[in-house]
Amino acid sequence: MGIVDTRELIEELAVLGVDDWQDGAAVDAVLDDADRSRARAIFDLLWEIGDEAPYGVTVVPDAEFVDYARELAEDVGAVPEGGAWPTYCIDWEWAARELRMDYMSAEFDGVAVWFRA
């Protein structure tokens, strides 16, 4: 699993035939056993994220959070481009731990994930 936006998960439910992502009964009613497990995992995560899910919440697997923190810092201009000094001196694991304080954790399909809602 990679970094995913909740809008993509809602689209995946629609492809599976679940039109109302907030209706857990629909997940169980319209799906066969093969798709039900994945749909249930998506539903549970979206339900935990809450009202912000349809607007796009980034869901980051724990194993990818350090890379996510680095990319986010680069995207917002917090570090110089090109990996020059002092960029290569940054303790990205520490930076990720600090960033994680603004995020909530959940489990998605057996994987620990982080999101900010």
pTM score, whole prediction: 0.85
CA pair distance 94, 89, nearest whole angstrom: 12
pLDDT, residue 27, reads 74
Flag whether pLDDT at 11 surpasses 90.
yes
Mean pLDDT of the chain: 89
Q: Taking the CA atoms of the chain, what radius of gyration do you get in angstroms?
A: 17
pLDDT, residue 98, reads 96
- Condensed to tens digits (0 to 9), the pLDDT of residues 95-105 reads 999 999 999 99
